[in-house]
Amino acid sequence: MRANAFNTGIASEYLVLSKLYRMDLEAYVSQGNKKSIDIRVILDDGRSISIDVKAVRGYSSLVVNNVVAKRDHFLVFVIYNNKFENLEVEPEIYIVPSFYVAEITKEFGKEKRVMKGDLADYKDRWDNLLMEYGEDGWLYTDEEEKTIDEYLSVRLLKDEGLSRQEICEELGYTEEELNDLDVRYNKATGN
């Protein structure tokens, strides 16, 4: 890995960690170059969430090849807009629940990328990290939103090459529940 990319990644992880501490959250940086998550956060209720930090010194797109949709997992995109060395300019930060990444991902050859323009709805959305959860994950007030989120999780796992059986195991669904999800998704989105 080039020193610039390494420095950008480390600087971004600690920038995000700083924001989390300022939110009075208990957070820890994972160590190592080949880690699956960058930051673990322990919430007041004892539940933990994980964060994968993706950073770019430029401004156009970020690679998301290894992103898997999971409950309690978030991506934080840090974009420096070619001003990494300028300490007076704050980078733009976008907080995206992992199950929404598939809908904003574009393919370029063998790479999956998220374009900065597709992140607008997530800018400075630190509140995404603090949404209420139940025993089985997110607590939703809107059943249609829950259906769309579940469908996006399944779609991302399909894109990763998982079979229907593997998807059921990963998400804790029965085959019947997975079949029903397509029907509920089409109804929720009007398709």
Higher pLDDT, 158 or 78: 78
The confidence score (pLDDT) of residue 21 equals 95
Q: Cβ contacts of residue 109 below 8 Å, gap of 6+?
A: none
What is the maximal distance between C-alpha atoms in the chain?
A: 55
Contact 36, 68 (CB under 8 A): no
Average pLDDT of the chain? 84
Beta strand 111-115 pairing with 61-63: antiparallel
Reported as a single tens digit per residue, the pLDDT across 137-157 is 455 546 667 777 788 788 878
- Output the pLDDT for position 133: 46
pLDDT digits (tens, 9 = 90+) for 37-56: 899 999 887 878 999 999 99
pTM reported for the whole predicted model: 0.69
71: left (phi over 0), alpha (psi -120 to 50) or beta: beta
The pLDDT value recorded for residue 50 is: 92
119-138, pLDDT tens digit by residue?
998 999 998 888 754 445 45
